[in-house]
Structure 1
C-alpha cells in the first residue's frame, strides 16, 4: 500500500482542537461586531443626536406634507379680519363667501374647529375652548399678551410667555396670539388649489363640469379653446407650478440620458485599449486603466462641483459629471467583458477573410452586446436618481426645485409632490429599461 492512499489518523486531540477553534471563532465574531457597534455609538455621538431629535417637529412636517391649513387672522393694529388658504392674500376669501365654520361679525368672529374646539375673537381678546381642559384666554396689549389658563398643570401642547401664546392641542388645530395679531389655523386633508389657483375661473369645478366645459363651444377665453384654457390654467398654477416642474423633470431625464450615452460612447472604445487580448502594449493598458480609476475615483458630486465652477450653473454641468464618472465605470466593465470573450468566434470570422474591423463587428460585439446593453440601461436608470441630487447642487432640473421648496420650510406639500413625481419617473425608467432589456437581449 502506498503512502498516498493512507487515510489521516483522527485523534481526540485533533478533534478537540478543531472544536475549540470553531467555538472561539463563533464567539469572536459577535464580540467584534458588538465592539464595533459600541465604538460607533460613542464615536458618532448617537446619544447626543437622539437627545436633539424633535419628533413633534417631524410630525408637524408630515402633517403639512399631506394637508393644508386655512388661516383666520385678526390684525390688531388695523382691526381687520382675514380668512385665507395658507395665509396667502391672493387666496383670501371675501366677506361674501367665508367658510361655514367661520362666523364673522365685523372684525370679530367665532371659529368652530370641530369636536368641541371653539375660538371666539372679540376685539383684542381670544377665548379658546378646549374639551377636557377648559378655556384659554389671551388679550393682546401694547407690551405683549395677557394670558389666563385653567388651574393645574400646563399641558405640553400649550406654550406661553409674556410675548406670545401658542396652543396646538391636536395636529390639525392651532391658535397663536401676539400683541399684533390673533391667528387660528384649521387643517384639512389634501393639497389646496392643486388643479387650479384660488382666483382661477375654473376653481372649485368638478371633473364632470370640466369635461362638459371642454366640449362646449362657448369659450371662456376668446383666444383659446376651452380644452386648452383648462390645460393652460393647470400648467400655469402659481401655487404648484406644474408646467415648470414638468419641464424640470424632462431636464433631469435628458441630463441622465445625455450623460449615460456619452459615457457609453467613450467607454467602449477605451475598453479595447484596456483589454489584455486586444492591446498588447502594457503601457497603453496601464494608462487606460488608470484613466478609468481616475474618472470613477472622483465622486459624481465632486465632478459636478468642479464643472459648476468651470462652466456655471446648468444641466450641461450635470451631464458632464455623469459622463465623466460613468466613463470610468463602464469602461472598466466593458474591458473585463472583452477579456472574457470566446476567441473561437473571432477566429471563425477571420477564416472568412474578414478584416479587423469586420472581426470586431461580427466576432466581438455580439458577445459583449448583452453586457453592454444591460449595464448601459442599468446606469441610465441609476443616473436618473443621481441627476436629481446633482441638480440640487445647482445643475438644474427637478433637484434644484426640490431644494428650493425645502428651504422655505413652509409648503411641504410641494416638496411631497416633487418627491412623488421623482419616484414615478424612476419607476418609469426602471420599467422602460427592463422592457428594452428583454427586447434587445432576450429577443422577446
Structure 2
C-alpha cells in the first residue's frame, strides 16, 4: 500500500487542478439538469392536465378504430310486419350486393330468422313476439310484443336497456339493437370486402379459381372486351375502393415531392454560393440571402400550401409550389453552410494557377460540396414524399386529400388503412432508393 504525503498531494493538486478545484457547475451540473427535467415534467403534467385527460379519454375508441382498419361489417335489419312475417333489409350500399343470401342467416320453419354472429356460440333469433340473444353461455329472451322491448329475466352486463330499445354488445363479432318493430344487427368480418371487384362487377362474388379461369380461357362476359381487360377495368374503377383515383393521387404526391425538391435544389444551389461568406465576400448580400432562406423556412410548408391554394386553386400545382418554397430555404441554408465549411486549400491551389472563377468552383469547391448536396437533397426528397401527403389534406392535391376525405366520414377506416399502407410502402421504397443512390453517387458501400 502506497502512502502519499502532504507534499506529494499538493504536487498532484497543482498538476491536475481541474480534478481538485472543480467549479460549482462541474460539481452539481448533472444534478441540476436532473432536477430541472423533473420540474419541467411536473409542469407539463399540470399544464396539460394529464390526469384529467387520461381519465376522460375514450380508450375504447382505439380498439374500435383499429378493428375497423382490418374488418368490415354487414348491417341487416329485420322488420316485423303486422301479419307476423319478418322482412330482411340491407343498406343501399351493402358489401353483399343487391341480392344477398348469406349462409349465416337461416330462415326457420316456424317463420323466425336466426343470425349467426360468431359461429354457434353467439346467435340472434328474431320472431314476431320475441328476440333471443345467445352469447357468453346464456340465452336472453327479449319480449317485443308489447309497447316497449322487455328483457325476460336478469339483464347481463353486456346488454343495456333503454326506453325504446335494447342494445346487446357481442364483442368484436358485432352488436344488436332490438326495438318493438325491428331488430338491427351489425355483423363484423375480418378482411376488406370487395377489394378487387365491387357488386356491380361481372366478377363479383365469384371464387378466385373461377375468376382466373374466366380471364385465361373463359367465354367473354362482354362481347366487345376481353375478360382480362374487363377485370382490369372493374378493379381500376372499383366504386368502393376507388383504386384508380387512389393510385392517381398517389402518383400526384410523388410527382409533387420530386418536382418541388428538384426546383428547390436548382434555385438554392446558385443562391448558396452568394450566401456563403468565404465564396462571396459581400456581407450585406450574405445576410440578405441568409435571412431570405430563414424566411422561406420559417413559414411551414402547410402554410405555403394554404396560401398557394388560395392563389392557384386546389391541386398539385399548389403542392409543388409549397414544397419548392420550403426547399429553397432549407437547401439554401444547408448548401451555404456546407460551402462555408470547406477546406480552402484545394480552392487556393486551383486559383493560384490563374484559373477562372468557374473553374475554381468546379475543381476547388465542387468535389468537397457534392457529398453534402447529394446527401441533403436526397434526404429532403424522401422527406417531402411524407410532407406532400400532409399538405394534400388542405387542398394541395395528392393522396393526402383522399386520405382526409376518408377520415372525415368516420366510417371508411378500412380505406384509410389501405391508403396508409400505400404511403408506408412508397416511403420505404423511396428511402431504400435514396440510400442506394446516395451511396452510389458518393462511391461508398451501402451497409
Deviation at 1:80, TM superposition (A): 6.0
Partner residue, 1:55: 59
Aligned to 2:343: 342
**Residues in 2 aligned to 1:378 and 1:434: alpha-carbon distance in whole angstroms:** 9
Q: What SS does the corresponding residue of 2:175 show, helix, strand or coil?
A: strand
Deviations 1:328-383 (A, max 9, x none): 11101101111222333334444555432233233322321111111111000000
Q: C-alpha displacement at 1:411, in angstroms?
A: 2.0
For residues 224 and 332 of structure 1, the distance between their equivalents in structure 2, rounded to whole angstroms, comes to 56
- SS where residue 171 of structure 1 aligns? helix
1:295 corresponds to: 296
1:119 matched residue in structure 2: 124
Name which of 143, 146, 150 aligns with 2:149.
146
8 Å CA contact 1:313, 1:394 repeated in 2: yes
Matched, 1:135 2:154: no
SS in 1 for 2:76: strand
TM-score, normalised to structure 2, is 0.87
Structure 1: gaps of 5 or more residues:
1-5
Which sections of structure 2, spanning at least 5 residues, go unmatched?
Answer: 1-9
CA deviation map 1:280-335 (0-9, x unaligned):
11111110011011110111111111222222211111111111111111101101
> RMSD across aligned C-alpha pairs, in angstroms?
2.9
My pick for the range that moved more, 119-128 or 410-419, is 119-128
What is the aligned partner in structure 1 of residue 215 from structure 2? 214
Quote the residue 2:107 is aligned against: 104
User: Structure 1 stretch 325-334 or stretch 217-226: which is displaced more?
Assistant: 217-226
Give the CA deviation at 1:422: 0.6
Q: Spell out the pairing of 1:5-404 with structure 2 (5 A cutoff).
A: 7=11, 9=13, 18=22, 24-76=28-80, 81-82=87-88, 84=90, 88-89=93-94, 91-92=96-97, 94=99, 98-104=101-107, 108-113=112-117, 114-123=119-128, 125-137=130-142, 139=144, 145-148=148-151, 150-151=153-154, 154-155=156-157, 157-178=158-179, 181-216=182-217, 218-350=219-351, 354-404=355-405
CA contact (8 A) 2:132 2:139 kept: no
Give the number of aligned pairs: 431
Closer/same/farther in 2, CA of residues 140 and 433 from structure 1, 3 Å limit: farther
- 1:431 CA drift (Å): 1.0
Deviations 1:154-197, CA, capped at 9 Å, x for gaps: 41x32221133221132213101245631112212111111111
| Aligned mates of 1:244, 1:180 — CA distance in 2 | 42
Q: Which TM-score applies when normalising by structure 1?
A: 0.88
Moved more, 22-31 or 234-243: 22-31
